[in-house]
Amino acid sequence: MSCFTMHARDGHARAGTLRTAHGTVQTPAFMPVGTQASVKGVTPSELSASGVEMLLANAYHLYLRPGKDIIARAGGLHKFMSWNGSILTDSGGFQIFSLARLSHVDDEGYHFASHLDGSRHVFTPETVVALQEALGSDVAMVLDQLVPAGVDEVVAREAADRTLRWAARAKSAIRRADQLTFAIVQGSTYEGLRKQQAQALAALDFSGYAIGGLWVGEERSRGLEIVSVTAQELPESKPRYLMGVGTPEDIIDAIARGVDLFDCVYPTRCARHALALTSRGRLNLRNAAFANDFTPLDDACSCSTCGSFSRAYLAHCFRAGEMLAARLVSVHNIAMLVAIARAAREAITGGTFVAWRDRRLGMLRESVASA
């Protein structure tokens, strides 16, 4: 039985339900990032209250610290971090890519040095499957090889073909029937290569598919073109996940191109820099104008931060160096992205997605122009 049901379409935009061992996820959906089994500054109960149904943790970081054995003894990742919803674990390919000076790749897998203590390790498609099965996540990503923007097609093809071979090896290594496994389409910004890889991975019949290797230095417009090309080659009946993308504008534009799932550190990173996301753009709470502004961050937001605290109070906390400020704005920013995905779903279901998209993007563009 498929883990994904599509309920409505409006153009390429889709509204569906993803079923996991820990419940259902209504798509489109935004997943906050809990890299080390912790979404920075936000408790599981606050995530749940914000409407989060699924979050992301990172297998690379959890492998190094605290280690899969400790998490397994705790009863799995859900119990370890006290989260009852769904969890997707990334394979660690991006982290090894970002720490390229500490690693090298061959057909076996990634050979890398820990960024913590320099100890040497090897990730293969098989060991990454076993690692994520030990963690007990609901969705596990296969090991993939990323390349930076601007590489030539020969280099991009070599990495994409290796990712395809690794995906086949990963599928053969799966032992848990209660864990979904998603493959990852690579291919840099080469449309023909992306199409070939998507078709070949679709033939392997994974539970879902991710579009990886974008937003790593290419022009945003080109990234969106590649999302369109890739998404249309993936099975209609399977969920589609755009990895590492999470600004309001990017989420809305990618939903329009047929993407169902998103993750990014963006909302909590913005919060730590005093940036609040609103339906009319971003607010820099360090600006003097907010010192006497006693309105909530966003009048339309129902999060606990907007229900209790003013812009003036949050601006004061940032100026005073209070850690509460980043926590409160993190809760709000996550709630805003979850709300955007929910509103998109409602618009898709109601057949009004294009008008909704244009209105929301127009409001965000006006805020940038007036800033």
Residue-averaged pLDDT of the chain: 96
The answer to whether 310 touches 292, Cβ cutoff 8 Å, is no
Q: Note the pLDDT of residue 368.
A: 52
Pairing of the two strands 54-58 and 4-10: unpaired
Question: What contacts 222, CB < 8 A, 6 or more positions away?
Answer: 189
Q: Which of 64-78, 82-96, 253-267 has the lowest mean pLDDT?
A: 82-96
Which run of H or of E encompasses 120?
Answer: strand 120-123
CA torsion, ordered 253, 254, 258, 263, to nearest 10 deg: -150
Structure tokens at 117: 């203590």
**Per residue in 126-175, pLDDT tens?**
999 999 999 999 999 999 999 999 999 999 999 999 999 999 999 999 99
Question: What contacts 29, CB < 8 A, 6 or more positions away?
Answer: 18, 53, 54, 260, 261, 262, 338, 341
Q: Is the pLDDT of residue 252 over 80?
A: yes
**Residue whose pair of structure tokens reads 């249309």 in the numeric block:** 232
**Per residue in 9-24, pLDDT tens?**
999 999 999 999 999 9
Quick one: pLDDT band at residue 367, thresholds 50, 70, 90? low
Q: Is the pLDDT of residue 370 over 60?
A: no
CA distance 230 to 276: 32
Q: How far is CA 93 from the centre of its chain?
A: 14
Q: Note the pLDDT of residue 371.
A: 40
Catalytic residue, from 10, 90, 138, 144: name it: 90
Q: Which of 33-37, 109-113, 331-335 has the lowest mean pLDDT?
A: 109-113
Task: List, as one string, the DSSP characters of 154-197.
Answer: HHHHHHHHHHHHHHHHHHHH---TTSEEEEEE--TT-HHHHHHH
Catalytic residue, from 10, 260, 263, 298: name it: 263
Q: Is the pLDDT of residue 60 over 80?
A: yes
Q: What is the 3-state secondary structure (H, E, C) of 33-69?
A: ECCCCCCCCCCHHHHHHCCCCEEEEEHHHHHHCCCHH
CA distance 317 to 319: 5
Domains of the chain, first to last: 4-264 (3.20.20.105), 271-370 (no CATH)
pTM (whole model) above 0.85: yes
> 82: helix, coil or strand?
coil
Backbone dihedral angles phi then psi of residue 367, each to the nearest 5 degrees:
-65, -35
| Alpha-carbon distances of 306 from 179, 246, 312, rounded to whole Å | 37, 21, 12
Pairing of the two strands 13-20 and 4-10: antiparallel
The residue-averaged pLDDT of 58-78 equals 97
Of all residues in the chain, what percent carry a pLDDT higher than 90? 94
Q: How far is CA 299 from the centre of its chain?
A: 27
- For the question of residue 90 being annotated catalytic, the response is yes
Q: Is the pLDDT of residue 369 over 70?
A: no
**Per residue in 296-316, pLDDT tens?**
999 999 999 999 999 999 999
Q: Is the pLDDT of residue 104 over 60?
A: yes
- For the question of residue 253 being annotated catalytic, the response is no
Taking alpha carbons only, the member of 242, 270, 271, 267 closest to residue 255 is 242
CA distance 356 to 343: 9
The answer to whether 280 touches 248, Cβ cutoff 8 Å, is no
The answer, yes or no, to whether the previous bond of 66 is cis (omega within 30 of 0) is: yes
CA distance 8 to 353: 11
Taking alpha carbons only, the member of 125, 254, 232, 226 closest to residue 181 is 125
Beta-carbon count within 10 A of 369 CB? 8
